[in-house]
Structure 1
Amino acid sequence: MKKLLVLILVLAMSVSLVACGGDNDADTPSNADGEASQKTVYFLTKILGNQYWSVVEQGAKDAAEELGIKLVVTGLANEAEIEKQVQQLQDAVSAKADAIVIGPTDSTALANPVSDAFKSGTPIVIVDTMINTDDYNVAYMTNNVEAGKMAAEEMIERLKKAGVKEDEKAQIAIQIGSSGSQTIIDRLKGFNEYWDANAPESWEVLNNDVKVNDGDISKAVGFTQDFLTTYPDLKGVFGPNNGSTVGFVIGLKESNRKDLAMVGFDFSEEIEEMIRGGEFEVVTIVQKQYLMGYEGVKAGIELSEGKTPSEKMIDTGVMVVDKDNIDSDEVKQIIDPTGN
């Protein structure tokens, strides 16, 4: 009697499970083993919560929603967590990601891990920062050497507008987020190439005292104060990445040093406020980072389907933003592509 009762209960549960599962799986594609075949892309950002990288992440999320795929986002607390990003990359490969989109925190240290991931057969899309290997499928980023030249051109122009004379001693301070980032290396290369060819001889870039803040805003603000105290002939500051730019903005405002010219990168609330205030001679070079995340995820899915990109390196472009064009439609489309 007990056996009969158990058999009846088992049959009842089986019927119930089939009935519950039927509606949920009706429209879900399945593979040969009967499992859901929704594709998964891993997006390995640099710094979680960073204003710049949040826009890249939003682009990736919007593409994932549009394509109906799963997006797994991982990131770091600061740019010094190189080993953590290596582990995140290895975890994505172990999870059999259909594609990996990564913004390398260190172009050299991540080269071999990215190469290993690529050789495993996982499609690799690089965004924002170049990697020191050819073992990837496609990259979406700024032409950073040219962007650096643009920054130097703007610095020279802003110094002249600020009234700095060509025969006057003038020093330019630089701080960066990471010394291992090819993005930073290329921007500094372009900046110095243009500077050496066009700046007055009495104007000097402090290349022997470039500070590395690891993407830490508090450190970046502290370095700003150090520069202001150490160099009495300081006339300008250059931040080739978002964190460094924000650090310079906060530091200059706290010190009320409106006599300095500033060139930064990317668009944050801090730089926007400084530009709109009109008290500083300031400009920022804005990248199209939303496009990097959006197109990066789309490319990852296309690669997973066996498609080949038409180009391996895709320049997403930059634009100079100052008080004269900050409210233009072209700038708005870059800094707020979703219209929020």
Structure 2
Amino acid sequence: MPRLPSRLVRLLILGCLGTAAGCGAGSDAPTTEPVASKRLVMGMMPKLVGIPYFNACERGAREAADELGIDLVFDGPQTDSADQQAAMIDLWIGKGFDIIAIAPNDPVRVAPALKRAREAGILVVTFDADADETASGRDLFVNQASAESIGNSLVDVLAEGIGGKGTAVIVTGTATAANLNDWIAIMKRRLKEHYPEIELLPTLVPNEDQNRARQMTADVLNAHPELDGILGITSLALPAVAESVAASGRSGEIFVTGLSLPNVVRPYLENGTVKKFVLWNPVDLGYLTVAAAKQLAEKKLNNGVQPVGRLKDVDVSEDTVILGPPIIFDETNVELYDF
């Protein structure tokens, strides 16, 4: 079962002691009105602010915060900097936040700051990407989908698109992002075991820089005219790849897929550069992060499949919560989603 942070344990003990003292005070003891519960203050930090994916996460987070009576601060670095994330965590510790949720840019470099938060009695949650569990001591990881389901879905869509053989390349994001590296490892294994006739070129690492991703894609297109498929596995990488392929005049010739938002990829579906792509609902991920943190703080988050707020069939296992399987988007269903 997910751990309850020491700060909340102390509050519960003090509450019980206060109740016990009141019960033994005798009939002459003054009666008091119940004290209203303090609103939880939660800081939620994306890998970086200002991009559509984390804007969608913020939308869901604020929905849950409003619904559950949580004071939410949603903020983060302007670039994918783990050092800036660590500095902001320390700032939030000093302000006495009750909960800190973070999508780490580096699972190791943010861990000491998260450990300091835990030692201060703050409940620590990761979402989208995990921190080093041992070094950080984090309480809960809210995962959008299992790494296996994401990596396998990406490869299966690629293989279908290029006929199970050919040459492909992955365009990733931040080199140290744990979730991206896990997906890449699973993708490589899937290719080796199920699609041995697909050759994978060295992974391109533009970090979370869309201009750089566009340029790196253009460079690999020029260097490898035999290229059959490209996987852009971040919400910034996929549209950058699609834009470069469209600009090269090779839309429909090179199969482009990956992970991004329907509202971002829709123009590339319309012009034929992208046929299918993969994601989950980031609005729901933001909502789940806040709602699960609240349930954990109240010691109401138990193992098993259960509703969490408005979300049904959420899988909770020890210290991990999974939103659900990834979604495959194409022209038949993309209009059903608005994020």
Aligned to 1:64: 65
* Gapped regions of structure 2 (runs ≥ 5): 1-34, 304-316
Amino acid at match of 1:71: L
Aligned to 1:179: 175
Going from structure 1 to structure 2, the CA distance change for 1:292 and 1:274 (only over 3 Å counts) comes to same
Aligned to 2:138: 136
- 1:99-130 CA-to-partner distances (Å, cap 9, x unmatched) read 11111111222223223322322111111102
1:75 aligned counterpart, secondary structure: coil
Aligned to 2:31: none
Distance 2:108 2:270 in 1: 38
Aligned to 1:316: 323
Mapped contact 2:239–2:260 kept (Cα < 8 A)? no
Distance 1:325 1:252 in 2: 23
Amino acid at match of 1:233: E
Counterpart pick for 1:236 among 220, 229, 235: 229
CA-CA distance at 1:60 after TM superposition: 0.7
Aligned to 1:15: none
Mapped contact 1:149–1:190 kept (Cα < 8 A)? yes
Amino acid at match of 1:253: A
Aligned to 2:160: 157
* Gapped regions of structure 1 (runs ≥ 5): 1-28, 32-36
Mapped contact 2:232–2:238 kept (Cα < 8 A)? yes
Aligned to 1:97: 97
Correspondence 1:240-319 to 2 at 5 A:
240-258=233-251, 259-277=253-271, 279-280=272-273, 282-310=275-303, 311=317, 312-317=319-324, 318-319=326-327
Could you state the TM-score of these two structures normalised by the residue count of structure 1? 0.79
Query: How big is the alpha-carbon RMSD for the aligned residues of Structure 1 and Structure 2?
Result: 2.0
Amino acid at match of 1:262: V
Aligned to 1:193: 189
CA-CA distance at 1:236 after TM superposition: 0.6
2:72 aligned counterpart, secondary structure: strand
1:47 aligned counterpart, secondary structure: coil
1:77 and 2:78 correspond: yes
Going from structure 1 to structure 2, the CA distance change for 1:292 and 1:225 (only over 3 Å counts) comes to same
User: How much identity, in percent, do the aligned residues show?
Assistant: 21
Aligned to 1:336: 338
Aligned to 2:46: 45
Going from structure 1 to structure 2, the CA distance change for 1:145 and 1:269 (only over 3 Å counts) comes to same
- 1:284-304 CA-to-partner distances (Å, cap 9, x unmatched) read 111122222112112223333
Residue correspondences, number: 286
Q: Could you say which structure has the larger radius of gyration?
A: 1
Could you state the TM-score of these two structures normalised by the residue count of structure 2? 0.79
Distance 1:274 1:93 in 2: 43
Distance 2:226 2:264 in 1: 25
